[in-house]
Structure 1
C-alpha cells in the first residue's frame, strides 16, 4: 500500500467526520438510552447484550450479535482489510472477501457503509464473547499437558479485542461509540475506585490510549455548576475530563468539552467536531503577512 500524505485541510475534514468514544457507567445509568440523542438515520447499534428494551421505540437500526465471529465480519466490512496481517489471518484480504461473500446477499456491507455512527453495546459483553472464543483456541491449552491454560486464553482475549478496536478506529468516516459497565472496586484497605467491567485487565489498560474520548455516565445531585457526586442522585452527567475530582475514568482528546456535559451525544459530537472557519494554513499565512 502506497504511503499517502494528508494535508491539514484534509485532516480537519476527517476530524469533523469521525470520533471514537468509550463510555462507561454503572448498571441502570442509561448508557443504552444515549442512542436516543444520536441521529437515527445515520446510526447503527451493534447489540451484543440483547439490551434494547429501554430504546425499543428508537427509530434507528440495530444488529443483534450472538457470536464473536459475526462481530469480526462486521468489523472487517466496516473498516476494510488490515494490510499488516498475514494473508489468511483475521481481518486479512481473504477474511474481507469471505465476509463479503457470506453477507453479500443481505446487503450488509452497503448498509454499514451508509451509517456514519456505530454504537457498540457493549464492550463488556464483547469481552465475554471473545473470552468464550479464546477458551476454545489452541493457545488456551498447555502444550506440555494439553490441559486448559487460562493465562493463554486471557492473552488471546486481550490481543483479539485490541485488534478489533483498532480496526474500527481506522474505519473511514465512522464515529464509533463503545459503551460498557463501570463497577466500584474496594481494595483490602477499603479504598474504593471505579473501573470498567471487562474480562481481562489488558483491555482496560489499553482502551483509553486507542479511543479519542473516554467518558463516564454517572449520577449527581445539585445544580449544574454545583454538582455533588451522588450514587443515589437523579441528575445524569457525562464526566469528560481526566483528573476530575471524583476519580472517574475520562479523557478529552478534543480539548473542547467541559468537565461534565449533559448526556446528549449529538450535542457533544457537534462541539467536538466544530471545524474552524479559517484553516490552520490560511491562519498561518495571514499571520506571516502581518507587518
Structure 2
C-alpha cells in the first residue's frame, strides 16, 4: 500500500516516518508539511518526495492509497475528511480533533467513502500493553479503576521537543494524554455514561467516570508535574483482585508499524478495527464534555 504522511514535526520524524519507510508492505509515497524546509528534510531522510501547500496535499493524495497524520488535531480533522473524500484510507493520530463537530465530519466522510481507518492510540498497539488491555477486556467483574497520566513537559528541567507545541500548551493534559487513559479504560470497563471533572494545579485535571459495566474509574491527567512526580499508571480492581498496566510502552516506531498492520488488515477485509475513527470520535466527545464541565470551575 502507498502511504503518504501529513506532518513533518518531531513526532513525525521520531515515529511515523521511520515506521512507514521501514515497513515491508508499505511504499512511503511522500511527506507533506506546512513548513517546506521541514517537509523536504524529512522526505530526504527517508528517500521519498516532499509536498507543501494546498496543491501539495492533493498531489500527495494522488500518489497514495492511504494517508497517515502527525499534525495538531484540529488541523488533522478537516484534512482527514478531504483524504477520505478522495478515497484514501486513514491512519490518524490521537485525538482525532478537539472539536466534536470536526471529528464527526471526518468520520462521516470516512463512512461515506467506505475507507478504512485506524487511530494510533499507542497503548492499543504497543507490544506489552496491547495484549494486557485485551486480556482485561475479556475478563468480567471489574469494580473500579484508577488511572494517572502525569507528564513534566513544562517543568524547568524539561527538554522535550513537544513542550513547544502550541496546541498542547493551549489544551493541556486533558487532550494530550487523556486519549491514552480512555483508550485503555473503555474497552475494559465499557463506554462512559456519566462524568464529573475538577481542576488541580496548573493544567492538571481529575475525572470521575461511570461506565456501562457499572464500574467506576478516576483519571488524573496533566503535563505540568515536577519531573520526579511524572509517570503513568492504570490499576484495575475487581473480583480477580488487582491488575496493573505494564510499565513502559516500548519503541513507538514498532507500535506504529502495528497500527499500519491494523490499517492494512482493515482495508483488505473491510472489517472495522476497534480503534477506528468512530472510536476516536467517542474519545473526543468524552473529553469535550469534560472540558465543558471544567470551563465552569475556577482556574
TM over 0.5: no
Q: Rg larger in 1 or in 2?
A: 1
* Larger helix fraction of residues: 2
TM range (shorter): 0.3 to 0.5
Q: Scaled by the length of structure 1, what TM-score is found?
A: 0.34
